[in-house]
Structure 1
Amino acid sequence: MSNLPIVDLAVIVIYLLAMIVAGIYFSKKNTTADEFTTAAGKIPAWAVGISLYATFLSSNTFLGVPGKAFGANWNAFVFSLSMPIAAWFAAKYFVPFYRSNTEVSAYTNLEKRFGSWARSYAVICFLLTQIARMGSIFFGISLALQALIGLDMALIMIVVGICIIIYTVLGGMEAVIWTEVVQGILLTIGAIIIIGSLLFKIPGGVGTVVDIGMRDDKFSLGSFALTDFSTTTFWVIFLYGVFINLTNFGMDQNYVQRYHTAPNQVEASKSVWMCVKLYIPISLLFFIIGACLYAYYDVNPQLISTVKEQVAQEKLMDSNILAPADYGDKVLPHYMVTHLPVGVVGLIVSAILAAAMSTISSGMNASATVFTEDIYKRYIKPDANDKQNLRILLWMTGIFGAIGMFAGVAMIGVGSILDAWWTLSGIFAGGMLGLFLLGLISKKTNNSDALIGTIVGICVILWMTFSYLIPPEYAYLQNPLHANMIIVVGTLVIFLVGTISQKIRHKTLQH
C-alpha cells in the first residue's frame, strides 16, 4: 500500500490521466508521418523552447542536483553556465544546417559526407544511448517514488511507462511538445514551492541560508586553477558542459527534431535561446534548494537522524561519521514526506514525474523517428509510402517505450552495470560529436579521413576511460585528466586527426 494520503494519490492520478487525455486530443491531428515527427512545423518558438528546457531538466536534475548541492557545493552549476556557448553555435550553425536539409533525421548528412558506415555508427550509438537513458530515468524515478509513495519499483515503472506510451503514440510530436510545456511549468512550480517552504521554516530565512552557506563554502563553483585538469575544477566542468551541450544541440535527435517543428529557421533559433534563458535560472533554483536543505538541517540537526541511520545501515557505517555527500540524495525525498502538507506532496511528485516523462517521451519519439528514417526507409523499405511510414512510427514509438521501461526494470539492483554503460555512452558521444564537427566544419575531408580520425579518436577515448586498470607500477601510462575531459579530448582528437589526414593526403596528391 502507498505511504501517501489519498489526496496526494488523487493529485498524481489526475496528472497522469491528464497526460493521456492530451495524447487522445492530439491524436486527431496525426494523419501523416510529418505530423507525427515534426508537427508539420507549426509549433511556436516559445513552446519549442520550453520543450527543449523540459527535456534538459530530467528527474535526475530534480532529485540529484539538490542532493549534490547539499552534499558538496555549486560546482555542477558551471555546466549550466556553459550552455550559452553551445547555444550560440547551435543558433549560428546547427539550426541553419538542419533547416536547410529537409531530412528530419540528424544522421542522414553523415552518409552524404562520409558514407553509410558513418550514418550507421551514429544511429546505433544514438539508439543504444536512448534506451539506456530512458531506462536510467525509469529506474531513477521509481527509486525516488518508492520512498515517497511506498509502491513496488517495477509497478511504478510499468504504470508510468504505460501512461507515457499511450500519450506519445497517440499524440506524436505535437503531444510531446505541448505536454512538455505543461510539465516544464509544473516542475518549475514544484521547485518554487519547495524553496518557499524551506525559507519559511528556517529562522532568519534567506539571511540564515547565506550565512551558513558562506561559512561552509556551499556556494563555491570550484577552483579556477588553469593548470589542474585532474579534478572537477571550474574549467573542467565548463569544458565538459560546452562539449556535452554541443552534442545535445548538434547531434541528439531529441533536439534536432525540434528544429523542424518551428515554422522557420529564425523561430527555431529563438527556441534554442529560450531554452537556455529558462534552463540557467531554473537549474539555479535546484542548487538553491540544496543550499536551503543544508541550512535547514544544520539548524535542525536532530531531524536528519532518520536519514543518516538509514544510509548508515545501507553502507554498513557509523552514522556519526557520515559526511553530507554520503546521504545528500536522500534528503529532498525525506523533507517532502515529513514536512510538506497534504496535497502539496502530490503536486511535487507530479512535478518529479513531469521531469521524467518529458525526457522519456522525447526519447521515444526521437528513437522511432531515427529507426524509421535511418533503418526502415534506408535498408528495409526505401519505397514506403506515407501511410506505411506512419504505421512504423506508431509501432516503434510504443516498442522503444516498452524497451526503455523494461530496461529500467532490469536495472533494479544492478547499479554497477548502469555505471559501466554510461561510461561507454560517453565514449560513443565523443565519437559522434567529433565526426559531426568534422563533416560540418572541415569541408575537404573525405571518407578515409573521417574513418582514420574516428578510429584514432575512439582509441584515445578507450585509453582515457580504462587506463585506471593499468597496474600502479606503470602509473605514467594512466590518464592524468579527470573523466569529464574524455569527451573533450576525444572530440578534438577525431576532428584534428581527420583534418591533418586531409592535409597530408592533399600534399601527397600534389607530389
Structure 2
Amino acid sequence: MLSWIDWVIIAAYCGGFLGLGIYFKSRSGKSLSEFFLAGKSLPWWLAGTSMAAAAFSADTPLYVTALTRDGGIAANWQWWSFAFCHAISVFLYARLWRRSGVMTENEFAEIRYSGKPAAFLRGFKAFLFAVPMNCILMGGLPTLGLAKVLEGTVGWSPWVCIGFACAVAFTYTLLSGFWGVVYGELIQFGLAIVGCTVLAVLAVQHAGGMEAMKAGAIAARGAETLNFVPEFGWTGSFIDSALAVFLMYIGIQWWSNKNANAGGVLVQRMAACRTEQHALGATLWFNVAHYAVRAWPWIVCAIASLALYPGLKDGQLAYPMLMRDLLPVGLRGLMIAAFLAAYMGTINSQLNWGASYLTNDLYKRFVNPEASDGRCLWVSRVLMGALLAISAGVTWLMVHQPNGLVKTFQLLITMQAGTGLVYLLRWYWWRISAWSEIAAVAGSVVVACTLYGLEQAGVVKLNFVMKMLTTVSITTILWLLAAYLLPGTDMKKLEEFFAKVRPSGPGWRAVAWRLGLRTEPGLGRDLADWGIGLGFVFGLTFGIGKLCFFEWGSGALMTGGGLAAGVLLLARSRPRPAGTILRVPEVVKKAAAL
C-alpha cells in the first residue's frame, strides 16, 4: 500500500492541476471560441502534444499490456493500423479542416451539405458521438482503467475509485476550458511518459535482464511473442488466424473507421491551431509521439509480465501488479500521479469535446439560436457533469468484466466501421450527400449492435474479423445507394464549399468548371507525401521498438530509414498558397452549367 510520501506526491499533483484550472478560468470564460478552441491560437507543438495526450489515458497501458500478453507484440496492429489514417490526416485533411473554419466536426455538415438532411445529420451525429459513444469510451476505457489501477495499488473499492477520479477531472475541466486542457495535457504527457519508462526499466531488471525477460516471455507464450508482424502460416480456419486479423487491420479497419479523416478531438485541435501549417505540423508531431514514443514502455512491461506472471488469466491486471510489486516508496506515488495525469488528459478532452458538440451543434443550433456566449458556457458546464455521470455508470457496468478494456475497444471500432470511406470521400467527391453520411453512421451502429445482440443471445458467434467484414460491407452498400438514389446536395451549396475549402483532385471538377475555376492539382503530391510519412512514422516506431529490446542492428537500420523519410518530407515541404485559382475557358464553364 501507499506511504505518506506517496500520498504527498499525489496530493501535490491534484492540487497543482486544480491551481492550473483556476489560473485559466478567466481566460477560458471570455467566449465559446476561447472555451472550446483556445481562441484559435495554438502553436503546432502544443496542439500536437495535446492530441497525443488525449489518446494516452489510464486505460491504454492496461489495454496494450493485455493485448500483448494475449497476442504478442504483433497484436498491437489493432491500433498501429490507425497510423494509415492518422498519417493521411496530416497531408490530405489537416489543411482542409483548418480552412473550413468549423468549431466542431458536426458543424461541417451544414457547410458541406444543404437543407433539412444537413441539419438532421448535424444534430444526429452530435448526440450520437457526444453521449452514447463518448460515454462508452470514457467509462469503458479511461475511467475503468484508472479504477483498476487504484483498486490494485491503493486498495480502494471500485465506487470510491470511480468517484475520486471523476471528481478531480470534472472540477479541473469545469474551471479551465480548452486552455487548461491543452496546457495540462502538455505536463500530463511528460509526467506519464517518465513514470511508464521508470516502471519498464524496473520490470526488465526484476525479470533478470533483457535476455532473461525475453526467454521467459517466449517460454510462457511461444516463439512468436516477440514478432512485430504475425506468422504467415495458420492451422484450422484462415478467418480465425492471426494473419487474417492482421490483414483486416491494415486492409480494412483504418479506412472504415469514423476517424479516417481525423475527426473528434483531433479536429478540435486542428481548428484551434494558428494557421494551416501549424495544423499540419501538429498532426505530424502527434503521429510521432503517439506511435513511436509513448507505447514501447508498456509493451516492454507486457513482455516482462509474461516472464513474471506467466499464469495470470486477466491481462488487464498485469500492469497494476507490476506497479504494486516493483515500485518503491515515492515512485509508487509518482506512478499513480502519472496515471491520474493520463486519465485527466483524456477525460478533460472528451468532456470539453463532448460538451462542444452538445452546446454548439444541438443547444445553440436547435434549442436557443440566440443564446449568448455566457449562457452557452453555463449550459456546457452542466452538460459536462451529465456526461461524466453517464460515463461513471458505464464504468460500473464494465468494472468486473474480464478483459473489458479490449472488448470495449473492439465494440467501439465495430460500431464505427463502414463510415470512414464516406468521411474520406466527402472532401474529394461532390456526389457524397448528407443522406450518404446518415446511411453510413446509422447503418454501422444498427448492424454492429444487431450482431452484438445476436451473439449475446447465442444465435450467432462471429470473431472480430467477421464482425468487421459484415458491418463494413452492409454499411458501404447502404451509403452508396443513398448517394445515387436519394436527393443530392444543392449545387449552390457545393459551389460555396468548393470556393471556401478548395479541395484538389478530379472529384470536384464539375463544380469548379461551373464557377469557371480550376485549382492547382495537388492530390498526387499529397498522396506521395502520405506514403513517405508512413515510412517516417513506421520506421521510427519499429526502430525504437527494436532498440528497446536491445536489437541494435535492426533497430538502427529502421530508425535510420525513418529519419531518412523525415528528411525527404522536410525537403519536399514548402508553404502552400491558400489555393491557386486558375480560370478555365468560358466554353467549359457554359458546358458544365448545362
TM-score by length of 1: 0.82
Deviation at 1:349, TM superposition (A): 1.2
| Unaligned runs of at least 5 residues, structure 2 | 490-594
Q: Give 1:255's match in structure 2, choosing from 266, 269, 287.
A: 266
Per-residue CA shift, 1:49-103, capped at 9, x if unaligned? 1111111122221122223323441123223432332123212333223212222
Q: Give 2:343's match in structure 1, choosing from 353, 356, 377.
A: 356
Tell me how far apart the structure 2 counterparts of residues 344 and 85 of structure 1 sit (CA, whole Å).
36
Cα-Cα RMSD: 3.4
Contact 1:126 1:252 in 2 (8 A): no
Deviation at 1:256, TM superposition (A): 1.2
Structure 1 residue aligned with 2:427: 440
Contact 2:93 2:262 in 1 (8 A): no
Contact 2:138 2:347 in 1 (8 A): yes
Deviation at 1:491, TM superposition (A): 5.5
Structure 1 residue aligned with 2:362: 375
Which has the higher mean CA deviation after the structures are superposed, 107-116 or 225-234? Answer: 225-234
Q: Give 1:287's match in structure 2, choosing from 299, 310, 313.
A: 299
TM-score by length of 2: 0.71
Structure 1 residue aligned with 2:63: 64
- Map 1:42-57 onto structure 2 (within 5 A): 42-57=41-56
- Map 1:177-256 onto structure 2 (within 5 A): 177-203=182-208, 205-213=209-217, 216-217=222-223, 218-220=225-227, 221-224=229-232, 228-233=238-243, 234-239=246-251, 242-243=254-255, 247-248=258-259, 250=261, 252-256=263-267
Kindly provide the amino acid, as one letter, of the partner of residue 6 in structure 1: W
Distance 1:452 1:37, change over 3 A: closer
Distance 1:440 1:461, change over 3 A: farther
Distance 1:345 1:457, change over 3 A: closer
Contact 2:83 2:291 in 1 (8 A): no
Deviation at 1:345, TM superposition (A): 0.8
- Map 1:339-350 onto structure 2 (within 5 A): 339-350=326-337
| Unaligned runs of at least 5 residues, structure 1 | 298-303, 305-322, 506-511
- How many residues end up aligned between the 2 structures? 473
Structure 2 residue aligned with 1:133: 137
Deviation at 1:466, TM superposition (A): 5.3
Q: Secondary structure at the match of 1:336?
A: helix
Structure 2 residue aligned with 1:312: none
Per-residue CA shift, 1:15-61, capped at 9, x if unaligned? 11111111011113121111110001222211211111111122221
Structure 2 residue aligned with 1:28: 26
Q: Give 2:122's match in structure 1, choosing from 119, 122, 135.
A: 119
Tell me how far apart the structure 1 counterparts of residues 149 and 464 of structure 2 sit (CA, whole Å).
35
Contact 1:12 1:346 in 2 (8 A): yes
Per-residue CA shift, 1:121-169, capped at 9, x if unaligned? 3122202111122222223311221121012222222222121112111
Structure 2 residue aligned with 1:482: 466
Tell me how far apart the structure 1 counterparts of residues 138 and 445 of structure 2 sit (CA, whole Å).
25
Distance 1:276 1:463, change over 3 A: same
Distance 1:278 1:418, change over 3 A: closer
Structure 2 residue aligned with 1:508: none
Distance 1:422 1:53, change over 3 A: closer
Tell me how far apart the structure 1 counterparts of residues 299 and 270 of structure 2 sit (CA, whole Å).
30
Structure 2 residue aligned with 1:384: 371
- Bigger RCO of structures 1 and 2 (CA < 8 A, at least 6 apart): 1
Deviation at 1:469, TM superposition (A): 7.0
Percent identical: 19
Structure 2 residue aligned with 1:164: 169
Q: Secondary structure at the match of 2:72?
A: coil
Distance 1:466 1:154, change over 3 A: closer
Which has the higher mean CA deviation after the structures are superposed, 218-227 or 169-178? Answer: 218-227
> Which one has the bigger helix percentage?
1
Tell me how far apart the structure 2 counterparts of residues 347 and 223 of structure 1 sit (CA, whole Å).
39
Deviation at 1:229, TM superposition (A): 4.1
Tell me how far apart the structure 1 counterparts of residues 442 and 301 of structure 2 sit (CA, whole Å).
44
Kindly provide the amino acid, as one letter, of the partner of residue 261 in structure 2: G
Per-residue CA shift, 1:157-212, capped at 9, x if unaligned? 22221211121111111111111111111111112101211222333x22223444
Contact 1:94 1:249 in 2 (8 A): no
Tell me how far apart the structure 2 counterparts of residues 89 and 57 of structure 1 sit (CA, whole Å).
21
Which has the higher mean CA deviation after the structures are superposed, 159-168 or 82-91? Answer: 82-91
Q: Secondary structure at the match of 1:106?
A: coil
Quick check: 1:16 aligned with 2:14? yes
Contact 2:414 2:444 in 1 (8 A): no
Contact 1:426 1:487 in 2 (8 A): no
Tell me how far apart the structure 2 counterparts of residues 161 and 229 of structure 1 sit (CA, whole Å).
41
Which has the higher mean CA deviation after the structures are superposed, 254-263 or 153-162? Answer: 153-162
Which has the higher mean CA deviation after the structures are superposed, 253-262 or 361-370? Answer: 253-262
Contact 2:37 2:178 in 1 (8 A): yes
Q: Give 2:2's match in structure 1, choosing from 1, 4, 17.
A: 4
Tell me how far apart the structure 2 counterparts of residues 420 and 264 of structure 1 sit (CA, whole Å).
39
- Map 1:432-511 onto structure 2 (within 5 A): 432-437=419-424, 439-448=426-435, 461=448, 465=452, 468=455, 481-485=465-469, 488-489=472-473, 492-499=476-483, 501=485
Distance 1:46 1:86, change over 3 A: same
Tell me how far apart the structure 2 counterparts of residues 423 and 64 of structure 1 sit (CA, whole Å).
11
Q: Give 1:271's match in structure 2, choosing from 282, 295, 308.
A: 282
Q: Secondary structure at the match of 2:267?
A: helix
Which has the higher mean CA deviation after the structures are superposed, 29-38 or 401-410? Answer: 401-410
Tell me how far apart the structure 1 counterparts of residues 253 and 162 of structure 2 sit (CA, whole Å).
30
Contact 2:43 2:273 in 1 (8 A): yes
Tell me how far apart the structure 1 counterparts of residues 446 and 96 of structure 2 sit (CA, whole Å).
29
Distance 1:117 1:436, change over 3 A: farther
Distance 1:442 1:191, change over 3 A: same
